[in-house]
Amino acid sequence: MKIKFLIVSGFCSIFFFTSPLFPTVTCYAGSAGVDQDCLQNLFETGPDNLTMGEARRMCAAPEPKQDHERVRESVTLEKSGQGVITERLEVDQSNIRKPFTLMSHRNNYILLGAYNTKGWNAARFAEAYDKEDLEADDLEVEFQLSIKTPLAIDMFDSGIDLFAAYTVRSHWQFYNSDMSSPFRETNHEPEAWLQMQPENLEIFGFTNTVNGVGINHMSNGQGGLLSRSWNRVVGFFSFEKDNLAVMFRPWIRIEESLEDDDNTDITDFYGHGELWLAYTLGEHTFSFMSRNNLESGFSKGAVELGWSFPLFGYPYLKGYIQYFSGYGASLIDYNQYVNQIGIGIQLTDVL
């Protein structure tokens, strides 16, 4: 005759099976793939002749899914009915209270080939480095890395959060072996802002999801003839309707003294704001940016189109195609027309 005893604790679940000749004690960790609620239920309602092996098999928890399986499952889940910005904000909210949190800010990508049909102006570099024969390839690598972190959450119980971010965009003459593949231009963009989420505010059927205002600095870290920089007060107002996201981003330049200003006419080309649209269709995201077109009478503006798409079912990266036409592709080119198309991979999407 077998007598069973079950002891359940936070660390170990133990079955004692005794017999007149061979008493045995077996202990296994509760986290070793066995459902504790199931064991407790068997202890209370199961038959007296149930063996330990039978109980373990009956209460075996399913094997944990691999990381890539969980990611693919989350990607393919049907939409919850919320707007695309709201879903992104919920992801942020699930992370901002974790210490030492870094999150994606803008999209992170690498264009393995970015071709400018107008060519890059090497004259300013030739002058700066005193090399008359200096030339730049029309084809280069471009990448953007953008992260943010919360500095203060729900300040004074007001629902206002304080964030800081850093974005770097580099234009790399990777294929220009004659010049030892230098970085033609790198733009650094630290910023800090206050943001809040309004409640139940709709305009023309679009829900206002998050608004904010902050300080933005943009510089190429150069000196002398190649130095470019400016400071702005930047606001943003985000709206959504189902899979469509809209953001208005106006700014005011903080003026500098003439002797310190490397680009006095920069607002003639960047204007005083930009409009962003993004639309998700399954695992595809389409984005559109318009800057300074109406303000300049369509003479000094810029348009950027983006398309991110799945890569062979792989959940961690997406393919990315970007087209840019206009002024302000980078600080060194702020007053030069650029017509560029690039293809590469995207690490994190805009939504």
Per-residue pLDDT of the chain in tens (351 residues, 90 and over written 9): 444 444 343 334 333 333 444 344 444 444 456 777 787 777 777 777 677 766 776 777 655 555 444 444 444 434 456 788 888 888 887 787 777 889 999 999 999 999 999 999 888 898 988 888 889 999 999 999 999 999 999 999 999 999 999 999 999 999 999 889 999 999 999 999 999 999 889 999 999 999 999 999 999 999 999 999 999 999 999 999 999 999 999 999 999 999 889 999 999 999 999 999 999 999 999 999 999 999 999 999 999 999 999 999 898 899 999 999 999 999 999 999 999 999 999 999 988
- Token pair of 326 as six digits: 């206009």
Residue type, 60: A
Beta strands per DSSP E along 40-199: 103-104, 108-116, 139-155, 160-172, 183-196
Q: Which residues pair with 215 in a beta bridge?
A: 192, 233
Q: How far apart are CA 63 and CA 29, in angstroms?
A: 16
Closest CA to 243 of 73, 87, 93: 87
3-state secondary structure at position 91: helix
Q: How many residues does the chain have?
A: 351
Q: What is the DSSP string of 143-158?
A: EEEEEEEEEEEEETTT
Closest by Cα among 213, 211, 137, 169 to 304: 169
Instruction: Pull the structure tokens for residue 89.
Output: 């904000």
Q: What is the largest CA-CA distance in the chain?
A: 99
Question: Which residues does the annotation mark as catalytic?
Answer: 217, 219
Do residues 332 and 288 touch, judged by C-beta distance below 8 A? no
- What the block records as the tokens of 207 is 């829900």
Rama region for 122: left / alpha / beta (φ>0; ψ in -120 to 50; rest)? alpha
